[in-house]
Amino acid sequence: MSKKRALISVSDKSGLIDFAKFLEESNYELISTGGTFKHLKEAGLSPIQIDEVTNFPEMLDGRVKTLHPKVHGGLLAVRDNEEHMKTVQEHEIGLIDMVIVNLYPFFENVNKNISLDEKVEFIDIGGPSMLRSAAKNFNSVTVITDVEDYSKIQNEISETGDSTLETRKKLAGKVFNLTSAYDAAISKMLLDEDYPQYLNASYKKVSDLRYGENPHQTAAYYVSTFENGAMKDFEILGGKELSFNNLRDMDLCWKVVNEFKNEMACCAVKHSTPCGVAIGNSPLETYRKTFECDPISIFGGIIAMNFKVDAATAEELNKTFLEIVMASDFDEAALEILRKKKNLRIIKIKNPVSDQQTWVKIDGGILVQDNDNQFSEEIKTVTEIQPTEEQKKALLFAQRVVKYVKSNAIVVSNGTQALGIGGGQVNRIWATEQAVNRAKEIDGGDSPSLLRQKFSGDLVLASDAFFPFRDVVDFCAKEGIKAIIQPGGSVKDQDSIEAANEHKIPMMLTGMRHFLH
């Protein structure tokens, strides 16, 4: 029985020795390179070096070692093509039946604080070339890029003497899946364009999810191989597994508190909509103010806090059923308290928000835009009466919240709390009525324990887009709203300005819309 040949060159050597020993015992000759050759030799195996196959030394600091006809001819030759087989015999090219290659760790190093030249050295050329050659000839060649596939191939060889065609085809597909993501990450680094000719995605699966938005939908969770981000490397400190909807809500919730980098902020999200946002002077105060915004909707929601959670705050959090509590850190005492609720997901966020773009899938295409991460620097008062300094602070607070609410969006605030949030309405007056009524409601519904006091002090209102008519201003006057901020830009802006002057309500225009569709 003639020997088969396996070419092995890996950076991830986990599980390799046991698999290589199995291959030798199964009559495979092992060909290897550099560090992999040394690793196999030290384990008592009998690999041969690649230069013995090519009759050409490794050169250019290892950049050229497998880029040779005796390697790629052995991989690409079609076994049942007489001309191919005649050619390889004439040139004394030995066939290669298996390739085990995983690539230089570019993904792991592209985000490190190292120079571009250093990052370039982690770009693998020979590895992807061998993988692609082997994958193209999957009818005859088994190609392995993932250590998790060692056991499957070992079982098939043990049972039948070779891998199955179905398995080889699937492994070939994994090759092109990997190399396309690898190339996409490299392209992103070198091209450095927001909107390149071809839109490349490079994401790695973290896990399959139980289901998507609904139980009949399948789903999986992927993270970028090129970018860091708050939703990439968070730490799960307690609770059950995360769902599709959990992850979407977490992303929005953390982005809201990230708006308040110099303040202690807390946000509650329910169904991808903020239902409470507040800033405060202590962890407990900040959470309580967030809870007060909407004690009903917060039930079963997600909480994000851009501060360290202490025991007193944890005790208060545990009084309400919550799906997730996210924070930049937790006291040990706080963790002990929160973990009493076994299903509560406790998430520590380690990376800052880093998204620069939003991608929206549509049927047959993708829309790409840069993120809405700006606020106007040219805010001006357009009414006869000027807002007070306290009202200005309240308006700017509400403006930071309103851009995370689905359009049409209105936020009513007293400066440190989003007391009423109205969003997702098809006209602006409905969103305004919704937000104002929520801000002033005192009824806790069927739960007397949720009874709320009517909020006193100046209530101000922020809108994500212009007022098409004066009806919003008239309604605000009727309900006692003391100041308004909105982008302006309507052909009827003057009607709203005149209404504000009539009602003696200061109004500021930003000139910048914040739609969130």
Catalytic residues: 136, 271
CB 510 within 8 A of CB 487: yes
What is the torsion angle, in degrees rounded to the nearest 10, for the CA atoms of residue 303, residue 308, residue 311 and residue 313?
Answer: -40
d(CA 327, CA 347): 7
Position 310, amino acid: D
DSSP SS3 for 190: helix
What does R_g of the chain's alpha carbons equal in angstroms? 31
CB 415 within 8 A of CB 421: no
* Phi and psi, residue 237, nearest 5°: -100, -5
Task: Find the length of the chain.
Answer: 517
CB 31 within 8 A of CB 123: no
What is the torsion angle, in degrees rounded to the nearest 10, for the CA atoms of residue 458, residue 459, residue 464 and residue 465?
Answer: -80
d(CA 24, CA 439): 74
User: Residue 425 forms beta bridges with which residues?
Assistant: none
Question: For strand 98-101 and strand 142-144, is the pairing parallel, antiparallel, or unpaired?
Answer: parallel
DSSP string, 53-75: HHTS--BTTTTBSS-SHHHHHHH
